[in-house]
Structure 1
Amino acid sequence: MKESWRWYGPFDRISLGEIAQTGASGIVTALHEVPYGDVWSREAISGRKAEISKAGFEWVVVESLPIHERIKRGEGDLSGLFANYRQSMANLAAEGIHTICYNFMPLLDWTRTDLAAPVARGGSCLRFSAPKMAALEIFMLGRGAARDDYPPQAVAEADAWYQGSSDEDRARLMHAVMAGLPGAYDRYDAEGLKSQLKLYEGIDRTDLRANYRRFLEEVIPAAEELGMRFCVHPDDPPRDILGLPRIVSDADDISWILGAVDSPANGLTLCSGSLGANPKNDVPAIARQFGDRIHFAHLRNVRKEPDGSFEEAAHLEGDTDMVDLVSALLDEERRRRNAGQGNWEIPFRPDHGHELLDDAARQTHPGYPLVGRLRGLAELRGLIAGLLRVAQQAG
């Protein structure tokens, strides 16, 4: 497996020189400064690639080439947006970059309610509190229907939290929810978020799937011609929130996506944290079921609670059996290599880490500290080395 590291380019407070000291060889990044829907010029791609190469890395995965919200809503004449998207793909391919991670989550990317929840023995982690999210939906956004989306106890706790919260508490919650948006994009206050949600009124799961199928039909044939691999990132959290449908949350969803346009170019980013937050998901089993379509992996762990809350655990702790999962990915690599398949190595990155030691002082992108991810990468590196040695000894 190819060790990689997510880097936010000019927005990142961790330098490529510091990343080099982690031992990773691949960089996962994007042109975060380019507005959604605009073309990524070949010149901009080449410049970013040269910067990465000069530091001794390979740009192994684009994360992400974002999809405009109008495409997700199926709104108006989309021909220009699709043409721009395909041109960005062509420009990336011309620079030798062939793997694109993306998501189809409406409006928000990953969503958390706490960016610095305390961790035993020190440090902090990202957390999704079902009661706090219910408080935001029911009381701050006025979505009365959200009462039916959460367990009664979570709704009761949401009421208590809201009644006891200050304006500062509510602003902090909104800031945490907005933090999942990458790069330098607009964040919303409560009124702004409500106005954006109105644009999705009337769009249900069936509609969103239809819009997603159209996207795949527009880009996967171009990906095949360019020799590119697309890999969808699962929903985070893997459940409907804010009244918006989520359609990449479990094995059934993944099966539908990969079958909607059945092509090796239409693949999966195996994110163990996103899938692991859904109690019904057996993440190692999902990895084995869809192994031949996994083009990229995010390895992290979560610890779930009965009311739907969860928080980031250490990489080798939490509810997902990371040993079994990594074993499944190594088995898939071995299958590809034995079949003589090119590009058999699966790039992975240590996903969301705990803030440890002096991480908090750096004020990096939430979930992307230096020390916490370095710990995760070191643990995963050791796990991979151990599993490879066992396989070698077994013949």
Structure 2
Amino acid sequence: MKMGFRWYGEGNDTVTLDHIRQIPGVDTVVWSLHHKQAGQVWEQAEIDAEVARISGLSDEARARGVTRTLDAEVVESVNVHESIKLGRTVLGLGRDEAIENYVTTIRRLGRAGVKVVCYNFMPVFDWLRTDLWHPLPDGSTALYFEKAVVDEMTPEGLIADMEAGSHGLTLPGWEPERLAGFTELNAAYVGVTHEDMYANYRYFLDAVIPACEEADVKLGVHPDDPPFDVFGWPRVVSTPDDLQRVLDLHPSPNHGLTLCLGSFSANPAQAPLAADTVRRFSGRIHFTHVRNIKHFPNGDFTEVGHRACEGDVDTTGIMKAYAEAGYTGYVRPDHGRHLWDENTTNKPRPGYGLYDRALGVQYLLGAWDAFRHTA
């Protein structure tokens, strides 16, 4: 197993590569070219420059005696254009052209040494929360989902709230360029069914997976977050049966999961199934996110610390399941709380401060070490 840490790039993150190098046990920087929009080709020079930045050391760092380096083997994410999900031209781009651009990007990432590419197949929006800085009883803040707000809010209202709470940093899945076409997208999804989405998903995989095999790149789909339909748009990667159906769309071992246990467990009925889901799909999990959430009876949920006892996700049991399976893929801590006033001092991207994710690394590695030696 290789531990990763998500990073949004130089000048686009309050966390630095120097910070990440100082977290014991982290080997991999999980990165992306966040200025590239869904459907755009990633240029080889851009990819190579970012890989060199992540895996290299500056002269200043070397002068301080730094020798530890990181790898850039995981990309999160190469976003799928809406034309692919819809199976027709939308936002000025046709499905086949968008797929061709995706294939080109995969091949170039493979040439740069990338091993795993995360993506999602969620319509319109990526992850969804109603409060980016919700206060917790310990004085920290965290991402929060309030069901009644979502039930009553329009998508347009949610877009405005997300932009207002972002600290001026672009939120993946909520980029202004993407949301500028919201009216067209919202209309395009009228009448689109779950079966339509699965058919378009198969078309995408049949075109892209052969290139992944040639490039030695594994593609891992991220579960829907939260794992149920929102605003009437069909989501198709939400339940254990959905995961199985998605994997059955293409048999290649290069087609698999980025099993985010926090997203999966945002459905309270699925939280107790997290460790068993790891066991069920361990052979097709290329990358995993492990985090904890706490549910409330009214349908709300909040992010909490990574320890199992903090919430409703058995993070310890999850790491035990991975150890017993002899997991050799990539893992990272996921959304962390904002600790020690960093939400007002460093002003990180919501969910992606430094301290709680670094604590999460240590907790997950501690559990992994304990169970690996007894598995």
Measured against the shorter chain, the TM-score band is 0.7 to 0.9
Name the counterpart of 1:128: 145
Distance 1:179 1:71, change over 3 A: farther
Q: Is 1:17 matched with 2:30?
A: no
Q: 2:316 aligns with which of 315, 320, 323?
A: 323
Kindly report which structure 2 residues correspond to 1:246-395, keeping only aligned pairs within 5 A, or say none: 246-281=235-270, 282-316=273-307, 317-333=310-326, 345-360=328-343, 361-391=345-375
Kindly report which structure 2 residues correspond to 1:128-207, keeping only aligned pairs within 5 A, or say none: 128-137=145-154, 171-172=160-161, 175=164, 181-182=171-172, 185-186=175-176, 193-207=182-196
For 1:69, the aligned partner's letter is: E
Distance 1:114 1:380, change over 3 A: same
**Alignment partner of 1:70: what SS?**
helix
Q: 2:208 aligns with which of 219, 238, 241?
A: 219
**Alignment partner of 2:199: what SS?**
helix
Name the counterpart of 2:61: none
Counterpart Cα distance in 1 of 2:174 and 2:297 = 35
Counterpart Cα distance in 2 of 1:103 and 1:329 = 22
Query: What fraction of aligned residue pairs are identical, expressed as a percent?
Result: 38
For 1:362, the aligned partner's letter is: N
Counterpart Cα distance in 2 of 1:179 and 1:107 = 20
Q: 1:237 aligns with which of 226, 230, 236?
A: 226
Tell whether the 8 Å contact from 2:125 to 2:174 is kept in structure 1 after alignment: no
Deviations 1:49-96 (A, max 9, x none): 000111411012110111111111111342221111111111111111
Q: Is 1:119 matched with 2:136?
A: yes
Per-residue deviation, 1:2: 1.1
Counterpart Cα distance in 2 of 1:42 and 1:98 = 16
CA RMSD, Structure 1 to Structure 2 (Å): 2.4
Per-residue deviation, 1:173: 6.1
For 1:238, the aligned partner's letter is: P
Per-residue deviation, 1:268: 0.6
Distance 1:170 1:16, change over 3 A: closer
Distance 1:171 1:63, change over 3 A: closer
TM-score by length of 2: 0.88
Larger-gyration structure (1/2): 1
Name the counterpart of 1:152: none
Counterpart Cα distance in 2 of 1:238 and 1:313 = 18
Per-residue deviation, 1:225: 2.0
**Alignment partner of 1:25: what SS?**
strand
Distance 1:134 1:80, change over 3 A: same
For 1:219, the aligned partner's letter is: V
Per-residue deviation, 1:389: 3.4
Per-residue deviation, 1:194: 4.7
Counterpart Cα distance in 1 of 2:264 and 2:363 = 20
Q: Is 1:108 matched with 2:125?
A: yes
Distance 1:305 1:230, change over 3 A: same
More helix by share: 1
Counterpart Cα distance in 2 of 1:264 and 1:331 = 20
Per-residue deviation, 1:223: 1.1
Unaligned runs of 5+ in 2: 58-68
Per-residue deviation, 1:200: 1.3
Deviations 1:321-375 (A, max 9, x none): 1121111111222xxxxxxxxxx62211110000000321212211100111112
Name the counterpart of 2:84: 71
Counterpart Cα distance in 2 of 1:233 and 1:310 = 19
Per-residue deviation, 1:306: 2.8
Deviations 1:143-166 (A, max 9, x none): xxxxxxxxxxxxxxxxxxxxxxxx
Counterpart Cα distance in 1 of 2:252 and 2:125 = 27
Tell whether the 8 Å contact from 1:109 to 1:181 is kept in structure 2 after alignment: no
For 1:136, the aligned partner's letter is: M
Per-residue deviation, 1:122: 1.1
Unaligned runs of 5+ in 1: 142-168, 334-343
Counterpart Cα distance in 2 of 1:298 and 1:257 = 19
For 1:368, the aligned partner's letter is: Y
